[in-house]
Amino acid sequence: MSELITLLTCNDLQGKPLADCVSRIKAAPMDPELDWIEGGNEAEFMQFAVLAELGDYFAMGRQAGPLHEEISEQFAAALAPVPDADMPLEDYFVWLDAELAARPTPYELLLWGNFFDDNHYTFIVRRADTPRILALAQELGLQVERAAGAC
């Protein structure tokens, strides 16, 4: 879990803050405040707990325009404006994928599985880290996929 969190935060979370974060995520299945999670398997609790712990590291939204604003804010050099704020998310994710791939450090947008509301939760990760993130998530039973081509 530590490696996954490190990669999802682009190595920003380290040391004791990382260890504390991982500890809270692993403890999520025993958290009485999360008893609303249906199904109750460990992966579903961790799926939610990652979002609860990493609120500063993801963007969420239902429409291209607002989601793009959140994603763009995560970069020192803003992204190009979205060509159409009302474009379907599938088209937006394909367009954004090309934009992120062209940056000096290529990035990729990952969709974090969501079973509790109708928002799209997205992590911006280094493109080179994506295969490892997907493998780690699969080992843990977490739902994560590349945004481009996902919708």
Rounded to whole angstroms, the Cα distance separating 142 from 148 reads: 18
User: CB within 8 A of 61, min separation 6: which ones?
Assistant: 67, 70, 119, 120
Per-residue model confidence as pLDDT tens for the chain (151 residues): 999 999 999 999 999 999 999 999 998 888 877 776 766 688 888 998 999 999 999 999 999 999 999 999 999 988 999 999 899 999 999 999 999 999 999 999 999 988 778 899 999 999 999 999 999 999 999 999 999 977 5
Rounded to whole angstroms, the Cα distance separating 98 from 106 reads: 9
pTM of the shown model: 0.92
Tokens of 98: 């090309």
The pLDDT value given to residue 36: 67
Rounded to whole angstroms, the Cα distance separating 59 from 42 reads: 24
What are the tens digits of pLDDT across the range 94-123? Answer: 999 999 999 999 999 999 988 778 899 999
